[in-house]
């Protein structure tokens, strides 16, 4: 079976999934991308030797509307590429790009089954009615199968469809074993013990872009309410809000306990997960939030906004994390205070949290579901 995936960009955290799928397809997987990167995507480009699948960026022109975080790619050459590849199954990474509509049209004319690889859920959807929603529904009703990241996404996909769309549910994930193994190794070193001693007893961590939607200001407000020198925060990421957040940190009297570490590549992140005790993700809207996967693989407890898609499949409140309203600084402060009182107990739970996350939400589980969707669609070809 020859499978082709159409997506916007090749994110580093997708490489492990595509490699696992390609291995089962004996290399018959090709990923065609609309662009090499997008604004605020500060990852390095994966090296060719890391890829066990074929990868190509189609020619095109690109526009971004950062206020809405919309990225528009206008590509050409897709038809020629698909004719050369002769796919048995075509996976569409969404419906918001012209590339996906071109792929859907090509597949329908040739009887090639299509799989809609879907991430959004009701809490992250920006379009819920009107002409654009009607176009979205028209697209969804023409695909053969859904491949949804998590149960909330699957439910929202069914609502868009308005009927019964066969859907396979998989976890959105990263190379969990890489984070588990790397963090464990780091915590055994003398350098780690020396560095950890420089921080407060309870160390919180935020990883992500510094943009309004990520709502890092709420986390600073919660720490201002607590005014506890025994609680520190590492902020790993870059973005247009960096200076504003740094200024608020000083105004709130938090400059001694909040450290802005800047952007780090994925392979560097295990050091910060090793140092931290708790990940906090206060987003106002989040399709998934892969940092939750990374943190759980590292054995961290996670305080997560109710607007984060990953929270509903990955977290068991009270055991490996807790949820809070992203508009309630007092509620987040109360959770941080509770964690502070229990942080030694939570450290003892690290191995169990990590083992559970890697077993249930790892690349292997995601690849199994991805392949199941491909095979179900392939069985309906023609």
DSSP state of 268: G
DSSP state of 277: S
Residue 78 has a pLDDT of: 97
How far is the C-alpha of 156 from the C-alpha of 114, rounded, in Å? 19
How far is the C-alpha of 244 from the C-alpha of 217, rounded, in Å? 9
- Pairing status of strand 70-75 against strand 60-65: antiparallel
- Which one of 3.40.50.1100, 3.30.1490.20, 3.40.50.2300, 3.40.50.2000 gives the CATH number of domain 176-361? 3.40.50.2000
Q: What is the mean pLDDT of residues 319-326?
A: 97
Residue 42 has a pLDDT of: 62
How far is the C-alpha of 253 from the C-alpha of 215, rounded, in Å? 19
Q: What is the DSSP string of 11-74?
A: -HHHHHHHHHHHHHTTT-EEEEES-S--TT--PPPPPGGG-SSEEEEPPEEEEEETTTTEEEEE
The CATH code of domain 3-173+362-378 reads 3.40.50.2000
Question: What would the pLDDT profile of 37-89 be if each residue is shown by its tens digit?
Answer: 887 676 666 777 789 999 999 999 998 886 667 789 999 999 999 999 999 99
Q: What is the mean pLDDT of residues 183-193?
A: 96
Q: What is the mean pLDDT of residues 271-289?
A: 97
Question: What would the pLDDT profile of 330-347 be if each residue is shown by its tens digit?
Answer: 999 999 999 999 999 999
How far is the C-alpha of 238 from the C-alpha of 211, rounded, in Å? 8
Same CATH topology for 3-173+362-378 and 176-361: the answer is yes
Q: Give Cα separations from 141 to 99, 151, 380 (angstroms).
A: 17, 19, 16
- Pairing status of strand 301-305 against strand 278-281: parallel
Paired residues of 71 in beta bridges: 64
Question: What would the pLDDT profile of 106-136 be if each residue is shown by its tens digit?
Answer: 999 999 999 999 999 998 887 778 898 899 9
Question: What would the pLDDT profile of 12-43 be if each residue is shown by its tens digit?
Answer: 889 999 999 999 999 899 999 999 988 767 66
Q: What is the DSSP string of 179-215?
A: HHHHHHHHHTSHHHHHHHTTS-SEEEEEES--SGGG-
To 5 degrees, how large is the angle CA 153–CA 154–CA 155?
A: 90
Q: Are 61 and 100 in contact (CB under 8 A)?
A: no
Q: Where are the domains of the chain?
A: 3-173+362-378, 176-361
Q: Are 255 and 276 in contact (CB under 8 A)?
A: no
């Amino acid at each position: 079976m020859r499978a082709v995936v159409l997506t916007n960009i090749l994110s580093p955290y997708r490489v492990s999934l595509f490699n696992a799928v390609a291995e089962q397809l004996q290399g018959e997987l090709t990923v065609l991308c609309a662009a090499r990167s997008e604004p605020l995507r500060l990852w390095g480009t994966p090296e060719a030797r890391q890829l066990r699948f074929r990868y190509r960026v189609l020619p095109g022109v690109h526009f971004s509307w950062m206020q809405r975080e919309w990225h528009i790619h206008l590509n050409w050459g897709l038809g020629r590429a698909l004719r050369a590849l002769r796919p048995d199954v075509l996976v569409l990474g969404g419906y918001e790009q012209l590339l996906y509509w071109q792929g859907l049209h090509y597949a329908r004319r040739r009887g090639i089954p299509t799989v809609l690889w879907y991430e959004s859920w009701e809490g992250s959807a920006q379009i819920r009615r009107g002409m654009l929603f009607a176009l979205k529904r028209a697209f969804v009703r023409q695909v053969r199968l859904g491949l949804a990241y998590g149960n909330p996404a699957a439910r929202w996909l069914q609502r868009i469809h308005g009927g019964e769309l066969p859907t396979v549910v998989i976890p959105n994930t990263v190379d969990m074993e890489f984070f588990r193994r790397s963090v464990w190794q780091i915590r055994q070193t003398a350098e780690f013990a020396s560095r950890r001693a420089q921080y407060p007893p309870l160390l919180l961590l935020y990883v992500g872009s510094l943009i309004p939607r990520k709502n890092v200001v709420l986390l600073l407000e919660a720490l201002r309410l607590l005014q506890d020198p025994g609680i520190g925060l590492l902020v790993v990421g870059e973005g247009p809000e960096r200076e504003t957040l740094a200024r608020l940190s000083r105004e709130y009297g938090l400059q001694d306990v909040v450290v802005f570490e800047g952007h780090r590549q994925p392979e560097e992140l295990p050091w910060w997960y090793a140092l931290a005790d708790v990940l906090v993700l206060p987003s106002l809207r989040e399709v998934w939030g892969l940092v939750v996967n990374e943190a759980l693989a590292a054995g961290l407890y996670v305080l997560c906004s109710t607007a984060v898609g990953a929270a509903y499949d990955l977290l068991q409140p009270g055991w490996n994390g807790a949820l809070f309203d992203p508009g309630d600084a007092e509620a987040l402060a109360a959770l941080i205070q509770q964690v502070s009182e229990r942080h030694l107990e939570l450290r003892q739970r690290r191995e169990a949290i990590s083992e559970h996350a890697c077993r249930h939400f790892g690349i292997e589980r995601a690849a199994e579901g991805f392949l199941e969707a491909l095979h179900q669609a392939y069985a309906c070809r023609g």
